[in-house]
Amino acid sequence: MFKNILFPTDGSPLSEKVTATVVQLAQLHGARIVSISVAQPFPFVPLSDGAVVPDAEVYETQIHQAAKSSLDKVAAAAGSAGVPFEGIVATSHNPYDEIVTAAERHNCDLIVMASHGRKGLNKLFLGSETQKVLAHTHLPVLVLR
């Protein structure tokens, strides 16, 4: 039924926990996993000439290494199970947009996401990438906790 499964991962313990389920789902359907980790660009803008700002280059390097590390864990799980895998590191202030675009670009027919299930003010202020993906894609989205 599903041949190309997109699995966004942020490297969180929840994403790591969900990885096993995604791999099993791919095995069940004879599907491949396309996993994406979105590195958010350097968020600091100096407000004045004398402002102390962390080194943007160091930040960018570390955030890309973290994204690659997240994908390496999914790749290892997929490889152990004999599931075809492709990893993507993207950079964007809007992870949901990269997720939706990757799903379309790689002909995915399902998006599987881990959700922290935030409620109340946390959801309002932190937002929900899962909710944004649901609002911007026509594909089925399986949300796991």
Task: Give all domains of the chain, ordered by start, each with its CATH number.
Answer: 4-44+52-115 (3.40.50.620)
**Which residues 6+ apart lie within 8 Å of 116 measured at CB?**
12, 14, 145
Per-residue pLDDT for 76 more than 50?
Answer: yes
Distance CA 4, CA 131 (A): 21
Distance CA 110, CA 112 (A): 6
Beta bridge mates, 94: none
Instruction: For 17-72, write each residue's pLDDT tens digit.
Output: 999 999 999 999 999 999 999 998 887 665 556 556 667 788 889 999 999 999 99
Mean predicted confidence (pLDDT) in 135-141: 96
What does the radius of gyration of the chain's CA atoms come to, in whole angstroms? 16
